[in-house]
């Protein structure tokens, strides 16, 4: 098997959070020992509730901020230190797409000019070749060259996100991190934009890290899905298999709340207890206060992510084959 294009090994990142003006500073473990690998041309979907560490993982994998611990490798090489020439060369192979296309675009410039910008900055081709590339990119995202003359304010949300996508693709990246790329769009056009992304991915052999709290959207595009809870991956496996047979009680609750299209839910699992608070992560399994199946051990021992058959890994004491690490 070819080595993964992108690989994160046990990355962690904490932030100091101060409560009140003279309050004590507490550490928020945004990401805690996350490992993942994405094969070339594949999509890893990252799901989990707000505050589970998805965006932080995305920023670290992109080299936008360094991990406190652990390492990211891109094309087999460690990510270079931010700001160095080697880092810029690696970063040129990667792009990020955010939730809000209007925030990512300059309202004062025609969108065609904004798609051309990365080509101008990197001095790619002659001016005429750059213009042709902009037309080509507009067609690739199913718009017309005429759209290039418009300003962001004169486009719909879905069209704006297509422009952001065209600009991200201008320099022919290998890897895209998409952080909630369709969450701000009407439900009716979310599927169209995700389909377009999937088509472009196949044509251009793009590798994607696709972050979303919406399982329907993740199901549409991912080969592999990782579920995060308070900074840790609690379950990871092939998308079809994971959605069909979730093992972790948290994944089971998420999947039960988002049944596959055309299939009736077998009964929604409603989680009790408070929503997760990253500043006060429970001891043991961080999910145990909300877990319908928790036993005494779950409150004291942190379950580690362990293979449970197939290519599935689960961090749960109640799942056969899963293991335990010393209480953290």
Ligand X SMILES: Nc1ncnc2c1ncn2[C@@H]1O[C@H](COP(=O)(O)OP(=O)(O)OP(=O)(O)O)[C@@H](O)[C@H]1O
Sites of contact with ligand X (CB under 6 A): 15, 28, 30, 48, 50-56, 213, 278
Segments of the chain assigned E as strands: 6-18, 25-38, 43-47, 69-74, 77-78, 94-97, 175-179, 207-211, 224-229, 232-238, 302-304, 306-307, 313-314, 323-325
Nearer to ligand X, 283 or 324 (CB): 283
Half-sphere exposure of 121 (CA within 13 A, CB side): 11
Nearest approach, Cβ of residue 255 and ligand X (Å) = 18
- Binding to Mg ion by CB under 5 A, coded x per residue (else -) over 114-153, reads ----------------------------------------
Query: Given 3-state DSSP classes, what are the helix, strand and coil percentages for the chain, each rounded to the nearest 5?
Result: 35, 25, 40
- Choose the contact partner of 15 out of Mg ion, ligand X, none; CB within 5 to 8 A by kind: ligand X
Tokens representing 35?
């490992």
Which span sits near Mg ion by CB under 5 A: 49-57, 138-146, 274-282, 295-303?
49-57
Nearer to Mg ion, 54 or 130 (CB): 54
Nearer to ligand X, 52 or 222 (CB): 52
Q: How many residues bind Mg ion (CB under 5 A)?
A: 1
Tokens representing 227?
């579920």
Nearest approach, Cβ of residue 211 and Mg ion (Å) = 7
Half-sphere exposure of 135 (CA within 13 A, CB side): 8
Nearer to ligand X, 159 or 212 (CB): 212
Nearest approach, Cβ of residue 96 and ligand X (Å) = 13
Q: Which residue is nearest to Mg ion (CB)?
A: 55
Q: In sequence order, which residues have a C-beta less than 8 Å from that of residue 1 and are 6 or more positions away?
A: 39
Nearest approach, Cβ of residue 31 and ligand X (Å) = 7
| CA 150 – CA 275 distance, rounded (Å) | 43
Listing DSSP states for 151-171 in one string gives -GGGS-HHHHHHHHHHHHHTT
Instruction: Look at residues 280, 327, 304 and name the one whose alpha carbon lies nearest to residue 34.
Output: 304
- Binding to Mg ion by residue 55, rule CB under 5 A? yes
Nearest approach, Cβ of residue 250 and ligand X (Å) = 14
> Which residue ranges make up the site for Mg ion (CB under 5 A)?
55
């Amino acid at each position: 098997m070819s080595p993964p294009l992108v690989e994160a090994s046990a990355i962690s990142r904490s932030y100091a959070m101060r409560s009140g003006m003279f309050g004590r500073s507490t550490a928020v473990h945004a990401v805690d020992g996350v490992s993942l690998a994405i094969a070339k041309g594949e999509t890893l979907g990252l799901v989990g509730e707000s505050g589970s560490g998805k965006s932080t993982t995305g920023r670290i994998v992109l080299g936008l901020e360094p991990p406190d611990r652990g390492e990211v490798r891109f094309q087999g090489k460690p990510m270079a230190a931010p700001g160095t020439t080697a880092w810029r060369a690696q970063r040129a192979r990667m792009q990020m797409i955010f939730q809000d296309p209007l925030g990512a675009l300059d309202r004062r410039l025609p969108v065609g000019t904004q798609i051309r910008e990365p080509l101008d900055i990197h001095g790619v081709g002659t001016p005429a070749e750059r213009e042709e590339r902009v037309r080509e990119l507009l067609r690739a995202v199913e718009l017309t060259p005429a759209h290039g003359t418009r300003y962001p304010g004169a486009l719909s949300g879905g069209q704006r996100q297509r422009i952001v996508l065209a600009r991200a693709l201008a320099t022919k990246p290998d890897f895209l991190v998409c952080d909630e790329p369709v969450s701000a769009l009407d439900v009716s056009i979310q599927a169209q934009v995700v389909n377009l992304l999937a088509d472009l991915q196949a044509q251009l052999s793009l590798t994607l890290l696709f972050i979303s709290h919406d399982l329907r959207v993740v199901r549409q595009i991912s080969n592999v899905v990782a579920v995060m809870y308070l900074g840790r991956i609690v379950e990871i496996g092939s998308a079809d298999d994971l959605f069909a047979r979730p093992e972790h009680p948290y994944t089971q609750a998420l999947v039960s709340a988002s049944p596959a299209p055309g299939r009736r839910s077998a009964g929604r699992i409603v989680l009790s207890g408070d929503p997760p608070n990253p500043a006060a992560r429970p001891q043991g399994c961080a999910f145990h206060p909300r877990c319908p199946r928790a036993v005494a051990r779950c409150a004291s021992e942190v379950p580690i992510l362990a293979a449970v058959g197939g290519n599935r890994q689960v961090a749960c004491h109640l799942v056969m084959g899963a293991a335990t690490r010393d209480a953290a």
